[in-house]
């Protein structure tokens, strides 16, 4: 049952993707922190393989907590995360995390930072540096391989974090507000770069953002969480056609309608 095209009215159930099993399945996740603070109140949704799924909701609804549980960085109080049908509770090579605060080693060069995940996996130096160099180039930092994080802008440091995540060739990228610390012009460029990279890499992405406009623009699927303790309110599939130019898409009635519909959905929780 749908209340508008592409919006499911049954909490936690997204429109199925024909012929595909989900890459990730989140089943009734709850999380209670010390002191009785309840972040999640039973979150369930599927993440289609090879797509970008955004999680959006009011502040404190458990977006980042959900992402960290999927990554295996935080334990759920109850519930389950399945990756390719296998229950997971710890980090694994099938998932790579892109942090909001870059999480770079300040004493290491761009190339060393980009290769760090491969270094942890025991990949020989020559091989890991060749792979890291390839992804440093793909994220637009060719020529900065020997630079250090303090010599880079915030946007450039975030590109290093993305290169590091891509270099380990994980099937699933987990991105926690990766563009929140850059200005709007750079943010839009990052969105274009991300979509271009994903068209080449065929990754499954789970993407946390506060921006409705960003979620609608980059996502195949958007999971809307209620105010904390977070639950799934709706799962939507905007179906944005990226064959046109960026400005044309952002001015289109379909794009603007989706932004407005999701804003009204979130506004209801903000007013309660």
pLDDT of residue 59: 87
pTM, to two decimals: 0.87
pLDDT of residue 182: 76
pLDDT above 70 covers a percentage of the chain that reads: 91
Q: Give the tens place of pLDDT for each residue, 145-203.
A: 999 999 998 888 988 988 999 999 999 999 998 887 777 888 888 888 888 888 888 89
Q: How confident is the model at residue 105 (pLDDT cuts 50, 70, 90)?
A: very high
Secondary structure of the chain in HEC code, one letter for each residue: CEEECCEECCCCCCCCCCCCCEEEEEEEEEEEECCCEEEEEEEEEEEECCCEEEEECCCCCCHHHHHHHHHCCCCCCEEEEEECCEECCCCCCCEEEECCCCCCCCCCCHHHHHHHHHHHCCCCHHHHHHHHHHHHHHCCCCCCCCCCHHHCCHHHHHHHHHHHHHHCCCCEEEEECCCCCCCHHHHHHHHHHHHHHHHHHCCEEEEECCCHHHHHHHCCEEEEECCCCECEEEEECCCCCCCCCHHHHHHCHHHHHHHHHHHHHHHHHHCC
Q: Give the tens place of pLDDT for each residue, 216-235.
A: 999 999 999 998 899 999 99
Which of 11-20, 77-86, 159-168, 173-182 is least confident?
11-20
pLDDT of residue 270: 63
Q: How confident is the model at residue 30 (pLDDT cuts 50, 70, 90)?
A: very high
The residue that leads in pLDDT, 8 or 124, is: 124
pLDDT of residue 23: 95
Cα 136 from Cα 159, distance rounded (Å): 8
pLDDT of residue 2: 36
| Residue range 20-47: mean pLDDT, rounded | 92
In the chain, the domains with their CATH numbers are 31-94+171-252+266-272 (3.40.50.300), 105-169 (no CATH)
pLDDT of residue 164: 92
Number of other residues whose CB lies within 10 A of the CB of residue 181: 15
pLDDT of residue 269: 67
Q: Give the tens place of pLDDT for each residue, 35-74.
A: 888 999 999 999 999 999 999 999 889 999 999 999 999 9
Per-residue pLDDT at 271 exceeds 70: no
Per-residue pLDDT at 261 exceeds 70: yes
pLDDT above 90 covers a percentage of the chain that reads: 60
Per-residue pLDDT at 1 exceeds 80: no
Per-residue pLDDT at 211 exceeds 50: yes
């Amino acid at each position: 049952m749908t209340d508008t095209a592409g919006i499911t009215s049954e909490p936690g159930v997204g429109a199925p993707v024909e012929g595909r099993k989900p890459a990730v399945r989140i089943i009734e996740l709850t999380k209670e922190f010390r002191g009785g603070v309840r972040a999640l109140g039973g979150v369930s949704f599927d993440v289609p393989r090879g797509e970008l799924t955004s999680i959006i909701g009011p502040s404190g609804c458990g977006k980042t907590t959900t992402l960290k549980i999927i990554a295996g960085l935080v334990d759920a109080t109850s519930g389950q995360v399945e990756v390719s049908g296998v229950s997971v509770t710890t980090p694994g090579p099938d998932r790579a995390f892109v942090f909001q605060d870059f999480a770079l080693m300040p004493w290491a060069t761009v190339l060393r930072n980009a290769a760090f995940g491969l270094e942890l996996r025991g990949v020989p130096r020559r091989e890991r540096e060749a792979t890291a160099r390839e992804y440093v180039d793909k994220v637009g930092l060719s020529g900065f391989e020997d630079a250090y994080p303090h010599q880079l802008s915030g946007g450039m440091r975030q590109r290093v974090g993305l290169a590091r995540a891509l270099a380990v060739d994980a099937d699933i990228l987990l991105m926690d507000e990766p563009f929140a610390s850059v200005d709007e012009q750079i943010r839009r460029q990052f969105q274009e770069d991300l979509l271009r990279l994903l068209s080449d890499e065929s990754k499954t992405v789970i993407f946390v953002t506060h921006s409705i406009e960003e979620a609608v623009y980059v996502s195949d699927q958007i999971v809307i969480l209620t105010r904390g303790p977070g639950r799934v309110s709706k799962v939507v599939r905007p179906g944005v056609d990226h064959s046109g130019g960026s400005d044309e898409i952002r001015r289109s009635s379909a794009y603007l309608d989706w932004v407005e519909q999701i804003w009204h959905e979130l506004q209801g929780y903000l007013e309660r």
